[in-house]
Amino acid sequence: MDHPEELAELLRRFGREECAQEPLYAALCELAAEDARLCALLAEAPPEQRKVNLLLAALHERVLAGAATELAAYYPSAGGGRAVDSGLAAALAACVEREWPALVQHLRHGATQTNEVARGAAIWPALGAAAAATGARHLALLDFGCSAGLNLGVDRYALRYRGDDGGWHARGAARDGRAAEIESLWLGGAPLPPLDAGWRLALRHGLDPAPVDVNDPARLRWLQACLWPHDARRRERLARAAAQLQALPHRLARADDCVAAIEPWLLGLPAGVQPVLLTSWVLYYLSPADLARLRVTVDRLALGHGLAWICGELPALSARCGAAPPLPAMPAGEVAASATLWTLRHARAGRIAERHLGWSHPHGRWVAWL
């Protein structure tokens, strides 16, 4: 997708379908679709990263770096409070003109790395499902495409689910003013995750072509730029999660070929732990060839070494066996276009078994378990 008209339509569709709750980004997408230079900027990204949210993150990073004062007035994340108006087009044009080299660098070499901690609302029960399916109590978690690895601390975050009874039900760590806090609607009639998890994360590892060191201010700023500017709670969650991860034993590994790195990780694990691979909104960024290779590799390692795979993606990517289950009744104001389907794939009785676990909002605002 490198023709200007195709890129313009990509921008319009993203603004229309994904930015209903982010009016600034909806407006920026529409402006970019009408601007040949911004379409050309998006085309600077390699094909597998040619995503609208990468362009939006690049602009946001320049704002957070203090290099786009005109645009900053529109970004709450930078202290701005100006609503979208006729001045936005000029502010965007000034940023692009002045910051073109930095923006091109982000598009050519960057990757959206949201590390959305609130996905823990779905990762938590998915880990419980993996433990129950394998009979394991001690899990070794590998976050594939881990970014900064913040989801490796899911068991240390304060989780609260609002059930059908209208009450809040706490899971995970206690709310102590320091833990990252996640609140999610628990939809449907499935039981809430038990208070006693019955499992623990014994080892926490992450793989990424460019893992983010949260101690590096520039890399942390990029992580913050990948968040949407109006969501102050997400910024607070990320900051707390980054602080918590620093205190946890974990290892992030850089790998040019993350698929090939899975097997050496698994073979290096100590006895007595259950290997669990986690992918959440990362298959979307793989080429078709790499995605096919990942699937073959994981199934082979499941049959040969007991690897379990938790996958949270768009249903076209996550579900391989059977049709996706029906979507739940969506909360008011939510759209189904980006609903995340969670699946568990593992070996059972010498064959590969796949199970649909549930649906969630991509940022964890709601969870509907099956």
For 209-238, write each residue's pLDDT tens digit. 989 888 888 988 998 999 999 988 888 899
- What pLDDT score does 259 carry? 98
Give the pair of three-digit tokens for residue 243: 């602080």
pLDDT tens readout for residues 350-360: 999 999 999 99
d(CA 102, CA 134): 48
Under the banding of pLDDT at 50, 70 and 90, the label for residue 268 is very high
- Total residues belonging to the chain: 370
Average pLDDT, the chain: 93
Write down the pLDDT at residue 219.
Answer: 87
Relative orientation angle of helices 4-18 and 23-33, to the nearest 10 degrees:
170
Residue 338: per-residue pLDDT:
79
Range among 102-106, 166-170, 172-176 with highest mean pLDDT value: 102-106
Quote the CA–CA distance of 241 and 119 in Å, as a whole number: 12
Nearest to 219 by CA among 247, 260, 254: 254
What percent of the chain shows pLDDT beyond 90? Answer: 75
Residue 114, pLDDT > 80, answer no
Which two tokens mark 355? 């199970």
Q: How far is CA 22 from CA 84, 119, 142, in A?
A: 11, 19, 32
* Residue carrying the six token digits 């969501």: 231
Q: DSSP letters of 68-83? A: -HHHHTT-GGGT--PP
pLDDT of residue 348: 96
pLDDT, tens digit (0-9, with 9 covering 90-100), for 233-258:
888 899 899 999 988 999 999 999 99
pLDDT in tens, 53-82: 999 999 999 999 999 999 999 999 999 999
Q: Contact 107/41 with Cβ under 8 angstroms?
A: yes
Mean pLDDT of the 21-38 span: 95
State the pLDDT at residue 1: 54
Domain ranges of the chain: 4-109, 117-212+225-369
* Cβ-contact 171, 225 below 8 angstroms: no
> What is the side-by-side strand order in the sheet with 200-208?
168-172, 158-162, 181-187, 366-369, 351-360, 340-348, 308-313, 274-280, 138-144, 200-208, 251-254
pLDDT at 174 over 90: no
